[in-house]
Amino acid sequence: MELQTEQKLKEILELLRQGNPFEAQKILENLFESVLDCPQIILTNRYNVFWIDSVNRLKRIEDFIERSECTLAEWKTFQEHFFYAEDVYEPALQAVQHGFFSNALEFFKKHEDEKDSYQKAEIYRKIGICYKKLGDYENARTYLTEANRIYPNLGSVLAELADCYSLCGEDKIGKVLFREAFFVSPDDVDMDFLDSEIIKCLVKITDEKGYSGKTAQYWIPVYGVLTGIFNVKKELSSQEVAKLKKDIYALENENKDPSCNRELLVPRLLNCYFWLLDYYALAKENNSKISEILLKIKILDSSIYESYIK
């Protein structure tokens, strides 16, 4: 690459980091007049054209809630298109990521004064995601903690908070929060924004077991327990134990229905059993109660039972 082209590319990358794809595009277009076969320029242009199209699509959305959802959806699409492609130019990808989430952060922070508690928690969650993607884990954790305080026990918020703690090297807290997130609502956990090694490891394990998509999210806590990754037990209150037993009863009845969705029900029920076993162990309950749950696991899925008792 010629020195002049290299300098122009550095200028482009800096504009991308600053969140200014339109100015970057002007330089790219000028470069194409003299440089036609540079892979770095071609890939950078490809990323930037997509980003500009994304900005224009989002500008047409007037409703804030819809636009906020679409903002994160646009990043998912960008990630799917380019992060896992055969040819990538990492400096440009990282520059676009920094610029994209800097702009998104500015957009979300304008709506911090939202009155509805659920929507406010969602805004704080998205601000937390932006800070996390920018590498500012402390601010991310602050906003995600506040989101959980405003509207407690959202699986989506707990998972992001867990991710933050793990990325900060506090795996013990991360494991507790991850396990809780996948117990509370595996459907609501957005895997696309989770970056910690804990979750990457569990995704790999469930993938190797043949699970994908939403089904995998139901099996993640099961394999988290079986592999010892989710090895930190949480003490449950009497109200939480009562709700857990009620959930188990409802799921067991549902499992008797031949038309039930066992693909999701079985891992959900296994996860509930694991939580109850943890409670019995911490509460030093008699062995007959533990044996009863172990027998239920054996009947439900013998292979999981064998893995659990090893």
Instruction: Output the pTM of the full model.
Output: 0.92
How high is the pLDDT of residue 83?
92
Residues 6 or more apart whose CB falls under 8 angstroms from that of 88 comprise: 43, 82
Alpha carbon distance 285, 288 (integer Å): 8
How high is the pLDDT of residue 38?
87
Q: Is 256 exposed, middle or buried (0-12, 13-18, 19+ CB in 10 A)?
A: exposed
* Residue pair 145/187 in contact by the 8 Å Cβ criterion: no
Q: Average pLDDT across each block of 10 residues of the chain; the chain has 310 residues. List them in order.
A: 81 97 95 83 96 96 93 96 92 98 96 93 97 97 97 96 96 95 94 95 96 95 96 89 96 94 96 96 90 97 95
How high is the pLDDT of residue 190?
94
How high is the pLDDT of residue 1?
54
Q: 């109200």: which residue's tokens? A: 239
How high is the pLDDT of residue 141?
97
